Structure 1
């Protein structure tokens, strides 16, 4: 059993994470960041929930780049093959559910 006070979580580096659970190869991790990630495609599907802060999510569909601002409480679902990158707007805490070992 765990209780995690997400607003208190910080990491020593951008995108540092607290491993919460691994359920049959699907990981749930809490990330803290104040810097963008990198363009990537996950090995499977990904659920990205903003728990604190704001994040600009950039993604590509059919070669065209799109962008959406995710507010606290918003969820971004990346289907398999979705190229994307997250740009926090200040500090952000993000819950990510994805296949273990994914980028």
Structure 2
């Protein structure tokens, strides 16, 4: 059992993470960042929940790049094969649920 104060979490570097759970190969991790990630496609599905801050999420659909700004409480679901990249607006804390070892 553990209680995590998500809004208080920080890391030493961008996209640093606290491992919360691994349930049959599906991981739940809390990330802190103040820098963009990289364009990627996960090894499966991904649930991306903004807990604190704002994140501009870029994603490709039918060969075109789109973006949306995610506020605290918003959820981005990346289905299999969705190419995407997250750009925080300042600091952000994000809960990510994905297949263990995914990019």
TM interval, short-chain normalised: over 0.9
Q: Tell me the equivalent position of 2:71.
A: 71
Q: Tell me the equivalent position of 2:28.
A: 28
Give RMSD over aligned pairs: 0.3
Deviation digits for residues 42-96 of structure 1, max 9, x if unmatched?
0000000000000000000111000000000000000000000000000000000
Distance 1:8 1:73 in 2: 16
Distance 1:20 1:91 in 2: 20
Deviation digits for residues 5-29 of structure 1, max 9, x if unmatched?
0111000000000000000000000
Distance 2:98 2:2 in 1: 19
Distance 1:42 1:87 in 2: 17
Pair 1:94-2:82 in alignment:
no
Q: Tell me the equivalent position of 1:51.
A: 51
When the two structures are superposed, what TM-score results if normalisation uses the length of structure 1? 1.00
Q: How many residues align?
A: 103
When the two structures are superposed, what TM-score results if normalisation uses the length of structure 2? 1.00
Q: Which runs of 5+ in 2 are unaligned?
A: none
Q: Secondary structure at the match of 1:7?
A: helix
Q: Which runs of 5+ in 1 are unaligned?
A: none
